[in-house]
Structure 1
Amino acid sequence: MTKGIFASVLVSAAMAVGLAAPARAEFPEKPVEMTILFGSTAQTIGQLLADLMSKHMPEPVVPVARTGGGGAVGYQHVHGTAADGYNIVWNSNSISTSYHGGKIGFDHTAFQPIAKISVEVPAFAVRADSGWDSLADMAADIKASGAKLKVGASGKGSFTHLSTEAILAAVGLSDMAVHVPYDQGRAPVELIAGRLDAALQWPGQFISHHEAGTLKILCVTSAKRISQLPDVPSCAESGAEGLDLVMWRGLAAPAGTPPETVAKLEEAAKMATESEEFKAAAQTIGFEVDYADHAAFGELIARDDRTIADLMGQLGLKAQ
């Protein structure tokens, strides 16, 4: 065989091999697992988000509950998985409260932000027959009586616990309150039964009772009022001057996840938040749709982490 013919055979063979080789599969080739850190409204929103994202991806997004430790259990799981986009976490400010509270040994930089999805604003509620119409009323009454305020706590070091401590500090009740733990989702029941005097939780847990007249929501922790409760003042208006604490929720993947994979997850998340179904759920469940892309979300997380670290330090909740 001459050199020319031999070379032609080699070229033809190489081309044949190239044509026969399978194209590189694009993400996702299999279901994406979304770790959900908490129950209650976090789980409800997360499950809906996963379902709506699945409509815009060739493989489904499957929500899996991994609760416990104020988010630590779920963060530990996702942190230990490959950075390939197949394990993501429905995350929140809890990444910072968990880290600065000493529950996990890595901070927010261990994760690649995908997209900010929503904002929830905790609501502070009491029984309707308490006689308190504001935080200022409650604080004045407790101080005058010398009694201890029984305040519900869903988990030491959690965002709602941090927010509760901030409210108590703002109205001068830090040393006049007793934190009473309760099971997940039972804040309204515990209040109505009289085992708690006050509790801070997500609005969705309180709104129906507030409307029925069995509970009274004194305030919400954001600087401004929220659309679900337009007649309820902010806690800053109600006596906790300067208070502004909100819970964001979003999606993140292990650091090092390829940019093109992040982009596909980000786009599916964006389309989910723009759906009428998700917007309707926001009003029903009690949260604000507040989408931001991965870059803006990353900036928010870093900024919020500094704020939470400072606040936890002031309140004595930061691990040394």
Structure 2
Amino acid sequence: MAGFLKRWIVGSLAVVWLALGGGQAAGAADFPTKPVEMTVLFGGTANTIAQVLSKLMTDKLGEPVVPVSRPGGGGAVGYAFVQGSRPDGYNIVWNSNSINTSYHTGKIPFDYSAFEPIAQVSKETPALAVPADKNWKTLGDMAKAVKAMKGTLKVGISGKGSFTHLTSAALFDAMGIGDKVRYISYGDGKAPIELLGGRIDAAIQWPGQFESYAAAGKLKVLAVTGKERVNLLPDVPTATEQGFDIDITMWRGLAAPKGTPANVIKTLQDAAKAATESPEFKSAAEKLGFTPAYLDAQAFGQEIAKDDTFYKKLLGSLSMTN
């Protein structure tokens, strides 16, 4: 009887231990044992980088990292899915500054603190392009022409409250033409086609979308919005060089639901680091026009928090907060 009672108590304690997360901890120790799903929020360059990153992380982890497209709401759809997932490392998000802008424009009810940062992977600097037949060589030329227009400047964006919308609004306000702009949303990755078709007059997107069209003389890229020029478009000056105080870039990285075990985060972080530092990733960066920019989980978390303060203030100044 005593032996039975002892076995019953031990068994009961084991059940309680599992219920309190002991089973998850044991599973975390040998993570991963199955595919990891990477939610991708956007198309275009974001999706292309995600495809490269997932392959290289697969090589490091020994289990597939599967990119799954969940677009919509400027990232809100994908963020909501991952935030509601089990915090075990098997659902992660290919995130960006959009976590800050989506929250402060009311698209999601949670902020960046709903996630565990894994690693920053890359940075991209937006570029402003216009059709080649526009008689504008600089931002100054553009500002002068738009101010003299009777109508409005039609500007393509990825969606209301999106990063391209925010960047466009900040730049055009700095140029003194914010009140002359009408924003038009287009599908992911279609900025050059919309420009060439005459549906819009200008668009801010990633350099990789414009480079081939600019080289062919079909589009003109007037400026980039970061503090430094980009390698893919070395002859294009920054907005700051042209007298407009703008410094906006996009970081991209990985995050997991809050509560994901630290050793799982470390495993994913190390895989992201190996991928970011690989020759294949650096080659992709040169072709697509982004910059490898690895930060570990702690430093990445600090970057996200700093940016959250920046974008809250910027969105407020542009009257775009919820």
Structure-2-length-normalised TM-score: 0.90
Shift of 1:290: 0.5
Equivalent residue number for residue 174 of structure 2: 170
Stretches of structure 1 that go unaligned for 5 or more consecutive residues are 1-5, 7-23
The higher radius of gyration belongs to 1
Shift of 1:267: 0.5
Task: State the distance in 1 between where 2:170 and 2:145 align.
Answer: 19
Shift of 1:127: 1.0
- Kindly indicate whether residue 292 of structure 2 is the aligned counterpart of residue 263 of structure 1: no
Aligned equivalent of 1:62, options 57, 66, 69? 66
> Which aligned pairs between 1:145-294 and structure 2 lie closer than 5 A?
145-239=149-243, 241-294=244-297
- Kindly indicate whether residue 300 of structure 2 is the aligned counterpart of residue 297 of structure 1: yes
Equivalent residue number for residue 122 of structure 2: 118
Aligned equivalent of 1:312, options 309, 312, 315? 315
Cα offsets for 1:144-183 (capped at 9, x unmatched) = 2333111112200011100000011001111111112222
Task: State the distance in 2 between where 1:179 and 1:248 align.
Answer: 24
**Residues 35, 63 of structure 1: 8 Å contact kept:** yes
Aligned equivalent of 1:84, options 63, 88, 108? 88
Task: State the distance in 2 between where 1:181 and 1:227 align.
Answer: 28
Structure-1-length-normalised TM-score: 0.91
Task: State the distance in 1 between where 2:303 and 2:128 align.
Answer: 25
Task: State the distance in 2 between where 1:133 and 1:274 align.
Answer: 37
Cα offsets for 1:260-296 (capped at 9, x unmatched) = 1100000011001111111000011111100010111
**Residues 124, 290 of structure 2: 8 Å contact kept:** yes
**Residues 154, 161 of structure 1: 8 Å contact kept:** yes
Task: State the distance in 1 between where 2:60 and 2:318 align.
Answer: 44
Task: State the distance in 2 between where 1:98 and 1:88 align.
Answer: 18
RMSD: 1.7
Task: State the distance in 2 between where 1:215 and 1:58 align.
Answer: 43
Which letter maps to 2:224?
A: V
Equivalent residue number for residue 37 of structure 1: 41
Task: State the distance in 1 between where 2:51 and 2:187 align.
Answer: 21
Shift of 1:238: 2.6
Task: State the distance in 2 between where 1:110 and 1:145 align.
Answer: 46
Task: State the distance in 2 between where 1:262 and 1:316 align.
Answer: 36
Cα offsets for 1:92-116 (capped at 9, x unmatched) = 0000110000000000000000000
After the TM superposition, list the runs of 4 or more consecutive aligned residues in structure 1 that deviate by more than 6 angstroms. Answer: none
Aligned residues between the structures: 299
